[in-house]
Amino acid sequence: MAYDEFIADRIRRVFKEQNVDFFTKNMFGGLVFMVDNKMCCGIHFDKKKNTDLLMARIGEKSTEEALKRDGCHPMDFTGRPMKGYVFVTPDGFDLDDDLEYYLTLAIAFNPFAPASKKRKR
């Protein structure tokens, strides 16, 4: 199953309201929102839980506080959490204010996020 397009539209709306220049990329079995050619946030369909998760790259400093919120968990694909990234279950971003909270953190962290190294082909 693919990601929920309604969630993608909600993210696009917030980015447009905050005048964020972005593009999207299909990745991780979902959709990733790229800002300054860096992964900012995205939607990941979790096959085990059968639900969409919001993925946000918010940085290590913001992660500790964010993890105190309902539905927020360390981002973990392989059994080892990725530092500075969180997954949020739908109950954690159901309200627009909650979604905006995570997206605002991700947008604020983006200028400080290191860019991925380009692979040689």
**Considering the chain, what is the average pLDDT of its residues?**
92
Indicate whether 22 pLDDT > 70: yes
Indicate whether 120 pLDDT > 70: no
Q: Mean pLDDT across the stretch 1-30?
A: 91
Dihedral, CA of residue 10, residue 16, residue 102 and residue 85, to nearest 10: 100
Indicate whether 105 pLDDT > 60: yes
Angstrom distance (rounded) from CA 91 to CA 93: 6
Residue 73: both structure tokens together:
């968990």
Query: What local confidence, expressed as pLDDT, does residue 2 receive?
Result: 77
- Pairing state between β 38-46 and 51-57: antiparallel
Q: Mean pLDDT across the stretch 88-111?
A: 97
Angstrom distance (rounded) from CA 25 to CA 35: 11
Indicate whether 86 pLDDT > 70: yes
- DSSP single-letter state for residue 43: E
CATH T-level topology, domain 5-110: Aspartate Aminotransferase, domain 1 (3.90.1150)
pLDDT digits (tens, 9 = 90+) for 47-84: 888 899 999 999 999 999 999 999 999 998 778 889 99
